[in-house]
Structure 1
């Protein structure tokens, strides 16, 4: 595993495998490790938060199971339905071959929303109350996943002459935008921002605002970052904007609508209190 800076670009020559397990001869990959790291870090952040709120550990354990299952199933089905449905419908058993790769973050987002809905319904909780707490850790999990993509030399960027360009030697000798790294760094900043604002009136006193901000900021950046990525599938070349951008728009609209609704609700409450 090597990476080096040569002239005005970074040579990225990193193996996607960490080591191979003897006997079964199966590789342990960086991508899987970063997925696990994202889950562990997210759990720890929520554990600290729920401890302060007096929620039992069993509550978090159950929520974590819902979210992990929702993320993986949603991400897999998202890839199947959004990016290559004809192949998977012709080879339905391949849908379950998740070890071969193929996870779509937008599908994962939809899966998380479904998981929150079912969990909140079972526990008789507000959907937005649960969503606000999950929103605090989604960015840290997203950063870990994008670092995993970087280690896999996948979701690479368009060619560039910028001095921080990466040459992904597993792909080609062309200096490219490290689009995965851009998104990972943004997710880290978003994680810090949301957790800073969590104790401020804008989020503390308005249920759903944390969730709304996550949707707006994360998917707005995702929309812009897609301009610096190569298309994942050939059919995207015929689209005005690519699939990742098309799928980001509904998330931004939902977040924006939620902020507007919350703002109007608060204005109504204030006027009623004054009267």
Structure 2
């Protein structure tokens, strides 16, 4: 019998009075701080105004949080939230969708590009992808510490028993499950490395949209495949040929292909 890994990590780091410091919130904050530092250094390297990074940080933070929350409410549990709209504001109760964050950040950065850089939004994304990958990596680490968004049972030796998860206890007690949070951390790291090398070693940012296009294929091509291993996030996904995460990944995969094709014609 193949043994699995017992994952028994407290999602709360420490208590300060009635305040809880949780891994998930810490990783969100750390991800955005690292991203801000990376983009700020890159703008300085290219001799753009210091204020660009400060403004960009606010656009990204606000749009990501709002988009991820609305994405979950609209795409995954609209029946509930349409009947209880005030619950949408209670972000601390959980429920964030990465696809919603991506769609929102694209819209926000289109506005940012028009108002601030006066350049193509894909010019901006080409420079932001390593930072975006860093934030995504940190968030998935937070999911792991929360024992959430895991996969179906597996006989592989790296299967995790998420003993602090009520969902795991109800469905898979005693069985190791795919640690899909770690799988997603791996493709985030891959997107970081590939985009970093494309920019810093091969200077492919001259082909506007190429770095973004390749990274979208890594992010959402991987996400599409991994969804076959993941436990349904909501009951309505059970029995679907393609789940909600896969359906939302398809337009972003197509966008990546389009940007790669387009980049051959568009250069700085």
| TM class, shorter-length | over 0.9
1:137-216 to 2 correspondence within 5 Å?
137-171=131-165, 172=169, 173=173, 174-201=175-202, 203-216=204-217
Q: Secondary structure at 2:148's aligned position in 1?
A: coil
Match of 2:55 in 1: 62
1:158 positional shift: 0.6
Q: Does 1:120 align with 2:113?
A: yes
Q: Secondary structure at 1:249's aligned position in 2?
A: helix
The answer to which structure, 1 or 2, has the higher relative contact order (CA under 8 A, 6+ apart) is: 2
Match of 1:135 among 110, 129, 136: 129
Q: Secondary structure at 1:175's aligned position in 2?
A: coil
Q: Does 1:26 align with 2:19?
A: yes
What is the rounded CA distance, in whole Å, between the counterparts of 1:39 and 1:261 in structure 2? 30
Deviations 1:108-130 (A, max 9, x none): 10111011111011122221211
Give the CA RMSD over aligned residues.
1.6
Match of 2:96 in 1: 103
Unmatched segments (≥5 aa) in structure 1 = 1-5, 270-275
Superposition TM-score, scaled by structure 2 size: 0.92
1:9 positional shift: 1.4
The answer on whether the counterparts of 1:20 and 1:26 sit within 8 Å (CA) in structure 2 is yes
- Larger of the two Rg values belongs to structure: 1
What is the rounded CA distance, in whole Å, between the counterparts of 1:85 and 1:204 in structure 2? 39
Unmatched segments (≥5 aa) in structure 2 = none
Superposition TM-score, scaled by structure 1 size: 0.90
Match of 1:3 in 2: none
Aligned length: 259
Match of 2:78 in 1: 85
1:190 positional shift: 1.7
Report which stretch shifted further, 122-131 or 155-164.
Answer: 122-131
Report which stretch shifted further, 193-202 or 108-117.
Answer: 193-202
